[in-house]
Amino acid sequence: MDLGSEPPARSTQVGEEQTQTQLHFHLKRRIAHLHTLQEISCKLNSKLGLEDVLTSILDETIRAIGAERGCLLLANPATGDLEMRLTRHFHPPDLAGKSFRPSRTVIERVWCEEKPVLTANALEDPELAEADSVRNYVLRSILCVPLRLQGQKIGVLYLDNRLKAGQFQKDDLALAAAIADQAAIALHNAHLHQEAVDRAQKLMEVVQHVQSSNQISLKVQGLTDFPELFAVIGGELEQFGYHCAIALLNPDETCLEVRYVSFAGESGPDIPIPVDGVPCVSVAETTICRQVLATRQGRLVADLDEVMTELLRHPTNLACQSAFVAPLVANNRGIGLLILGLNRVHLEDPSLLMAFANQVATMIEMCRLHTQLQQRLAEIQSVLAITRALVSEVSLNNLLEFIMTQAEHLTNAEGAAVLLLDDDGRRLEVASPSEPWRHMKAGSGFPVQGSLAGLAIASQRVQISNQVEEDDRTASERAFLRSAELNSLLCAPLVAQSKSLGALLVWNKRERVFTSHDSRLMGLFADQAALALHNAWLYARNRQLAVEQERHRLAQELHDSVTQSLYSIALAAQTALKLLDQPDSGDKVRNPIEHILEFSQTALTEMREQLHNLYPTVLIDKGLIQALAEYCDELETQYTLSIKFMAGSEPPLSMVQRKTLYYIAREALWNVIKHAGATRIDVSLTTENGQVVLSVTDDGAGFDPLTVDREETIGLRSMEERTRLLGGIFELRSEPGHGTRVTSRIPIQAFER
C-alpha cells in the first residue's frame, strides 16, 4: 500500500535538525494512518449488513481525514448509473438524494476517469474553478476517490471542506484510497452476505411452501365440492402473496373450463366470471395453454394478461406481472392447468412451482375420486330406495307407472316406456298402465330384430345412441316414437331369473347426451325393475289362485249347507201343499205356503247361479266363447229376451283372464235382467290392438252414472276391480231412457315372463 510520496528532498538551506523533525513528523503521520486504516478495516470487517457497512465507510473516512462533509455513491447493477447512497452534513438544497446527477463535477470526473482528485482550493484550481458546484457552494478542499473491486468500478467516495483550504494532503489521499479499497471489499462481503440472507429467505420460502402444501392437504381432506376445494387452495396461496387461476379439461379433453380465478385487474376488483356458466375455451384455440398441456412442462410467461386472455377470450386488464403456467397431471393424465401470478418477491424456481402444481393436481384428483365415490354411494342408496318401493308395490299398473317415472327422473329424460317381449319373443310391445302413458297404446310396439332394444336384449347390456338420426340401429325406435326431435336413446334389458322380459326404453336426455354414468345407473335400475315386474306377476297369479281356491271352498260349503237348507224348505212346502189338498184345509193356508215355495225355488236358482259364478267349470271344458254363447241362449229362453252374441275366434287368454271375462259378462247380463227392463241385449267379444274387448249393451231404462255410488253397487264395483286387476280398463256408459253399455278391455299380454 502506498501511503504517500517520498518525504520532501532535503533542502540545502534547511539544517539537518529540521530535516530530522520533518521525517519524524511524516513517520508519525504514516503510523497514525496505518493505525487508523487498521481500525477502520476491523470495523468494516465486523459489519455484515449493507447499510451498516455504508454508514461505517463514510463516517469513519470523514473522521479519519478530518472532512467537513462527505457522500458515498454506488453504481446501480441494473442500469450502471451512479446513485447517491449516503450523505453526511449535506443540506437538502445542496444535494437531492438519489436523483442527484454528478454532471460536470469532481464526482463525474473521478467516475469517468477512475482517477482520484485532490485539491487544496478548488476555487483557485484552473480545472475546477469554473464548475457550477464549486462556485455555487464555495468549495475549497476536495478529496474524491473511486471504489474498485477486481478491476471494476463500483462507486465514488467524496469528501470536502468549504471553510478551510489545504485541509487535505497527499498522505490523506493515500489513506482515502486505502480506505476505498477496504470499503470495496467490505461492500462485496456485504453483498455476499445479503445474497446468503436472500438464499436463506428463499429456503424459508420453500419451507413455507411445503408447509402451505401440507396445510392445504389437511384442509381439503374430505372435500367433495370443487368450488369449496378451489377456494381453500386459492385462500392458502393468497396468504403467501400468490394469486391463481385453475382451469380443468372437460371429459373429452378438448376444452378448458375456468373453474377458479383470484387475479385482480388494474382497477382492483377480481376478474368477473360470467354468471351464465363456466367459461370454456377450446384447447385448439389457445397457444400457451396448448403447448403446456402437450409438453406437460411448466412455463414462465412474461405477461399474465396474455394467458388469461387466452382462457377467458376477452381482455382482462390485469396488473402487469409475470406468471407460471403449470400442467395439472394426475394418474399420468392431464386434467388441467394452474396459473400462478408472480412478482419480484416470489420464487421463480420452476421445479418448486411444478411440485406445488403436482400436489394441487393430486388434491383435485382425490376430490374427484371422492366425489365419484359419494356419487356411487348415493346411486346405490337411491337404487336401494327404489328397490324397496318396487318390491312393496304389487299392483302391476302402479308398478309400471312407477318404473317409467323413475327412469325419466334418474336420467333427466323426456320419456320412458316398458317394452315386453310377446309370447314368441319376436316383438316388443308396450306394457302400459291402465291410464294412457305418453300417448302410447298398450300392445303397440316394433320387431325385436334390427332394433337398438333388440341389441340390448341380445347382449344383455345397456345400449346408448346419442346420434339417433344417423344411427341405423334406431330405425325401429324412431318409427315407434314418431318424434321429430328425437336425439338420444338409452335401452336397458329387463332380465329376471336369467330370462329376458323385454327392455326399458328412455329417450331425449334434457342435458347434453346419455353418458356412461347413465348407462351404469340404468343397468342397476333395470335389473331391479325386471325383478319387481316378475314379482308383481307372481303376486297377481298367486292372488288369483288364492281367490279361485277360496271360491271353490265357498262353493263347496254353500252346496253342503245353504243349498241343502233351501232344498229342505222347498220340500217342506211341497208336503204342506199336499196336506192342504184334504177337504178340511182352507185356502188361507195355501197362499203363504205357495209363496214359500216360490221364494225357495228362486233362492235355489240364484244360489246355483252364484255357485256357478264362483267355480265355472264350463270354461275348462268348452272355452270362453262357447260358455258365453250357451249362457246367452239359456237366459234368452228362460226370460224371453232377445240376446245377440257375436264373437270371433277364441282369444289366447289365460284361465284367469277367461274366468274374469266370463264373470263380468254374467254379472252384466244379470243386472240387465233384474234392473233394466230391456227387450234386447247385444253381447260382443272382439280382439283390438292386443286387447280383448267384452261389451254388453241393452235397450233398457238406463240411468245416470254420476248418481250411482259404486261403493254401494257391489256388482259394478266387482266388475271394475276384476278388470283393473288384470291391467285392463273398465267403462260404463248409460243415459236415462237410452239403455246401458258396459265394456271391459283386458290386455292379452299376461306378463308371464
- pLDDT tens digit sequence for 259-314: 888 875 443 344 444 434 567 888 998 999 999 999 999 888 888 888 888 888 77
- How much is the pLDDT for 695? 93
Strands annotated E in 448-562 = 463-465, 489-496, 499-509
Mean pLDDT lowest for which of 44-48, 452-456, 726-730? Answer: 44-48
Instruction: Check residue 337 and give its pLDDT.
Output: 92
Quick one: pLDDT band at residue 327, thresholds 50, 70, 90? very high
pLDDT at 418 over 90: no
Give yes or no for residue 437 having a pLDDT over 70.
no
What gap in Å lies between CA 525 and CA 530, rounded to an integer? 9
Residue 435 has pLDDT above 50, yes or no: no
Between these two residues, 573 and 651, which has the higher pLDDT value?
Answer: 651
Show the cell assigned to 411: 336420467
Q: Evaluate if residue 18 carries a pLDDT over 70.
A: no
Q: Give tens-digit pLDDT for 205-264.
A: 666 666 666 666 666 666 667 788 888 888 777 776 778 889 999 878 889 988 888 875
Residue 298: burial class (beta carbons within 10 Å; 0-12, 13-18, 19+)? buried
Rounded-to-integer distance, Cα 718 and Cα 742, Å: 13
Residue 279 vs residues 105, 228, 260, 305, 308: alpha-carbon distances, Å: 61, 18, 10, 16, 11
Quick: pLDDT tens for 168-205: 888 888 888 888 888 888 888 888 888 888 777 776 76
Is 80 exceeded by the pLDDT of residue 439? no
What distance in Å separates the CA atoms of residue 572 and residue 731, rounded to the nearest whole number?
46
In this predicted structure, the answer to whether residue 562 has a pLDDT above a threshold of 80 is no
**How large is the average pLDDT for residues 727-749?**
88
CA distance 584 to 377: 95
Stretch 498-525: mean pLDDT: 83
* Percentage above 90 pLDDT, the chain: 7
Sequence-ordered list of residues with C-beta below 8 angstroms from that of 626, at least 6 positions apart, any chain: 618
Residue 26 reports pLDDT greater than 70 = no
Report which listed range, 95-99, 491-495, 653-657, is most confident.
491-495
End-to-end CA distance of the chain: 114
What are the tens digits of pLDDT across the range 643-698? 999 988 888 888 888 888 888 888 888 888 888 888 899 999 998 888 899 999 99
More confident residue, 601 or 327: 327
- pTM summary value: 0.44
Query: Which pLDDT band holds residue 577 (cuts at 50, 70, 90)?
Result: confident
Q: What is the pLDDT of residue 336?
A: 92
